[in-house]
């Protein structure tokens, strides 16, 4: 593990996901799950999210499409939140998921809209 990439990833992950949630995930990690938390922090957040080739907003939009395509609803809600934090608008998220519906099928699109609506609803409370 690269300590520098881990630390950079930890900073980005805390900024975008929220320090409280990240710290809770790390604190709850045990001998079995800790290596996965470290890998996600170093590789996803440190190696990829810190690269200069795309801004964080673009990475967020890409992640929404990829998570929809991979049928990963558990991760989708969190990345919708990250996307909003990175400046994605409700209209842009809507367009992304309309495109998901056409290219991946209506059930996938409907599921994305359902998850996004729950995120939008929680943010207006």
Domain ranges of the chain: 1-51, 55-125
Out of 1.20.1290.10, 3.40.50.1100, 1.20.1050.10, 1.10.10.10, select the CATH number for domain 55-125.
1.20.1290.10
pLDDT in tens, 31-87: 999 999 999 999 999 999 999 999 999 999 999 999 999 999 999 999 999 999 999
CA-CA distance, 60 to 104, in Å (whole number)?
19
Q: Which of 60, 65, 63, 57 is nearest to 101 (CA)?
A: 65
Each residue's pLDDT tens digit, 36-45: 999 999 999 9
Q: Are 47 and 5 in contact (CB under 8 A)?
A: yes
| Closest alpha carbon to 54 in 44, 46, 62 | 62
Among 112, 38, 39, 27, smallest CA distance to 69 is for 112
Q: Estimate the crossing angle of helix 73-85 against helix 3-17, to 10 degrees.
A: 80
Q: Which two tokens stand for residue 8?
A: 């950079």
Regarding pTM above 0.85, the answer is: yes
């Amino acid at each position: 593990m690269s300590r520098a990439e881990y630390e950079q990833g930890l900073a980005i992950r805390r900024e975008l996901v929220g320090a409280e949630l990240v710290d809770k995930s790390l604190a709850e990690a045990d001998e079995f799950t800790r290596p996965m938390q470290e890998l996600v922090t170093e590789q996803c957040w440190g190696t990829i999210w810190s690269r200069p080739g795309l801004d964080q907003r673009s990475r967020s939009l890409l992640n929404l499409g990829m998570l929809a395509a991979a049928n990963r609803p558990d991760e989708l809600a969190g990345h919708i939140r990250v996307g909003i934090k990175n400046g994605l608008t409700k209209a842009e998220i809507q367009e992304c998921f309309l495109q998901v519906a056409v290219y991946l099928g209506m059930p996938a699109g409907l599921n994305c809209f359902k998850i996004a609506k729950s995120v939008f609803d929680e943010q207006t409370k």
